[in-house]
C-alpha cells in the first residue's frame, strides 16, 4: 500500500475538496488538498498522478496554474473543474493541451461522485504512474535497449467509410525487469536527450518488421505499418540506407511502411530533414505528419515536404465533441489534407459520436480507443473478430 499514488486537489471550496478526497480515496488513491493556488508547489512535491483544478479561485486563476504546470513539465494528468460554462472549460482544456499538459477530463460543478470516479479509474492514469515512481537512468535505458527489453504494442487503424482494417501503428513499451511495463512517457524524452533515440528507433524498426512479417500470413493483414521517428532521425543522413537494409532483410515492401514525424521535428534549418524525408520517399516509404495542428509551420511543411498522410492530433479530435473551435480545426485539417492529396487520419477517436461525426465530415481513416487500444500482436486476431461484429453497424449509414 506504500506506493499508492496521490491525487491532488486544488479548489477554494473546502467542502468540495473534502467530498472529492473521499471519492478519490474510495478509488484507492492517497489525497492531498490545497485551497489556494500559491500552494501549488506543495501539491506537486507529492508527485500526484492527477491534479484536480478549479479554474476559478480567489487568489490565483486556474489558467495561471496551468501555465505553471506546463513550466514544471507536470508529468501527471489534469482534471479541470468549474462552475462556468462548458465553453470556458473547453478553452482551459485546449490551453492546457497546447502547452503539453495532459488533460484527463473536465467536470462541471456540481460534481457527481460517479463522474469523478470514472476519471480516476481511466486506464490512462496507469501511464503516469511509472514515470512518477521510477527514476530511470541513461545507463539503465541503454542496457534495456541492448538487452531487447523493448516490446511493441500495435494500435489498429481503420477506414471510416467501410470500417476496413488498413494499418497499425507500432507503439513502444519497455518491459523493465524491476519496474514492470513502462510506457513511452517514462523513457522517450530521456532517450531523446541522452543520445539513445536512434538506437531505440533501430530496435523498434527491426522488431516491428520482424513481428509484422512473421504474422502477416497468419493474420492475412496486408495494410501499412506505421512507425514513429524521433527528431534526431531527421539529422542522420545514413538513416534511409539503414531502413532500406532492414526492410530488405525481412523481404517487406517499403510501400507498406509509414514513418510518422511530428511537425516540430522538422527543424529551423530544414535542408537535412528535407533530404532525408525525400530520400525515404524515393525509396518507396510513406510519410505521415503526426500530431498535426500542434506545430507552427504546418502549411509550409505540408507544401514542401513529400508527405503521404496527415494525422490530426488527438487533442483536437477528442475536444471536437464539445468544443466548436476544435471542431473547426478538425474540419479544416480534413479539407486541407484532402486538397493536398493526402490521406487524413484522425487519432483519439474515443467514442461512437466522434466516429459518426468524422465519417460524415469526410475524414478517411480513424485510430483510437473506440476502435482498439494498442495491444500486443498476439491479441490482434481476437480484436479482428470483435471488430467484424461491430463494424457493420458503424458503417450502415451511407456517407
Chain contacts with ligand C2E (rule: CB under 6 A): 124, 127, 155, 171-172, 183-184, 188, 201, 204, 228, 230, 290-291, 314, 347-350, 368-369, 374
- Kindly tell me which residue out of 90, 129, 228, 367 binds Ca ion, with binding defined by CB under 5 A: 228
Check binding of 260 to Ca ion (CB under 5 A). yes
Q: Which is nearer to Ca ion, 76 or 348 (CB)?
A: 348
> Residue 97 Cβ, how far from ligand C2E at the closest point, in Å?
11
Which residue shows C-alpha cell 462552475?
83
Q: Which does 172 bind (CB under 5 to 8 A by kind): Ca ion, ligand C2E, none?
A: ligand C2E
Q: Which does 204 bind (CB under 5 to 8 A by kind): Ca ion, ligand C2E, none?
A: ligand C2E
Q: Which is nearer to Ca ion, 157 or 228 (CB)?
A: 228
40, 70 contact by CB (below 8 A) = no
Of 23, 157, 136, 139, the C-alpha closest to 79 is 23
Cell of 46: 507529492
Of 365, 169, 186, 334, the C-alpha closest to 257 is 169
Q: Which does 91 bind (CB under 5 to 8 A by kind): ligand C2E, Ca ion, none?
A: none
> Residue 311 Cβ, how far from Ca ion at the closest point, in Å?
6
Q: Which does 69 bind (CB under 5 to 8 A by kind): ligand C2E, Ca ion, none?
A: none
Q: Which is nearer to Ca ion, 211 or 263 (CB)?
A: 263
> Residue 228 Cβ, how far from Ca ion at the closest point, in Å?
5
Which residue shows C-alpha cell 483544478?
53
301, 289 contact by CB (below 8 A) = yes
Separation of alpha carbons 199 and 203, rounded Å: 6
Of 123, 129, 91, 88, the C-alpha closest to 104 is 123
DSSP string for 351-364:
SHHHHHHHHHTT--
- Kindly tell me which residue out of 97, 140, 263, 290 binds Ca ion, with binding defined by CB under 5 A: 290
> Residue 17 Cβ, how far from ligand C2E at the closest point, in Å?
27
Coil, helix or strand for 164? coil
154, 380 contact by CB (below 8 A) = yes
Coil, helix or strand for 78? strand
Q: What are the residues binding Ca ion (CB under 5 A)?
A: 228, 260, 290-291
Amino acid at each position: 500500500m506504500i506506493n499508492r499514488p496521490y491525487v491532488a486537489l486544488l479548489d477554494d471550496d473546502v467542502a468540495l475538496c473534502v467530498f472529492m478526497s473521499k471519492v478519490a480515496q474510495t478509488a484507492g488513491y492517497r489525497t492531498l488538498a490545497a485551497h489556494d493556488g500559491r500552494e501549488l508547489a506543495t501539491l506537486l512535491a507529492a508527485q500526484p498522478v492527477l491534479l484536480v483544478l478549479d479554474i476559478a479561485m480567489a487568489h490565483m486563476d486556474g489558467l495561471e496554474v496551468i501555465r505553471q504546470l506546463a513550466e514544471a513539465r507536470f508529468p501527471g494528468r489534469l482534471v479541470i473543474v468549474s462552475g462556468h460554462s462548458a465553453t470556458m472549460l473547453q478553452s482551459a482544456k485546449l490551453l492546457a493541451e497546447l502547452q503539453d499538459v495532459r488533460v484527463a477530463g473536465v467536470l462541471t460543478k456540481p460534481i457527481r461522485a460517479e463522474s469523478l470516479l470514472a476519471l480516476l479509474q481511466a486506464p490512462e492514469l496507469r501511464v503516469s504512474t511509472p514515470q512518477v515512481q521510477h527514476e530511470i537512468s541513461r545507463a539503465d535505458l541503454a542496457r534495456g535497449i541492448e538487452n531487447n527489453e523493448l516490446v511493441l504494442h500495435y494500435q489498429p487503424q481503420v477506414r471510416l467509410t467501410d470500417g476496413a482494417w488498413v494499418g497499425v501503428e507500432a507503439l513502444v513499451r519497455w518491459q523493465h525487469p524491476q519496474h514492470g511495463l513502462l510506457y513511452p512517457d517514462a523513457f522517450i524524452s530521456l532517450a531523446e536527450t541522452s543520445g539513445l533515440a536512434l538506437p531505440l528507433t533501430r530496435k523498434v524498426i527491426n522488431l516491428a518488421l520482424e513481428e509484422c512479417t512473421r504474422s502477416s500470413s497468419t493474420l492475412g493483414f496486408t495494410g501499412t505499418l506505421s512507425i514513429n521517428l524521433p527528431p534526431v532521425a531527421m539529422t542522420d543522413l545514413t538513416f534511409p540506407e539503414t531502413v532500406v537494409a532492414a526492410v530488405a532483410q525481412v523481404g517487406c515492401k517499403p510501400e507498406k511502411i509509414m514513418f510518422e514525424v511530428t511537425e516540430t521535428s522538422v527543424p529551423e534549418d530544414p535542408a537535412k530533414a528535407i533530404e532525408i524525408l525525400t530520400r525515404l520517399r524515393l525509396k518507396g516509404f510513406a510519410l505521415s505528419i503526426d500530431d498535426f495542428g500542434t506545430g507552427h509551420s504546418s502549411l509550409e511543411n505540408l507544401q514542401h515536404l513529400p508527405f503521404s498522410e496527415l494525422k490530426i492530433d488527438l487533442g483536437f479530435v477528442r475536444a471536437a465533441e464539445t468544443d466548436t473551435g476544435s471542431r473547426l480545426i478538425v474540419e479544416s485539417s480534413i479539407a486541407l489534407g484532402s486538397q493536398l492529396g493526402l490521406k487524413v487520419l484522425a487519432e483519439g477517436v474515443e467514442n461512437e459520436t466522434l466516429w459518426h461525426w468524422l465519417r460524415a465530415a469526410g475524414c478517411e481513416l480513424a485510430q483510437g480507443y473506440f476502435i482498439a487500444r494498442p495491444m500486443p500482436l498476439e491479441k490482434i486476431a481476437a480484436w479482428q473478430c470483435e471488430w467484424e461484429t461491430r463494424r457493420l453497424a458503424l458503417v450502415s449509414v451511407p456517407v
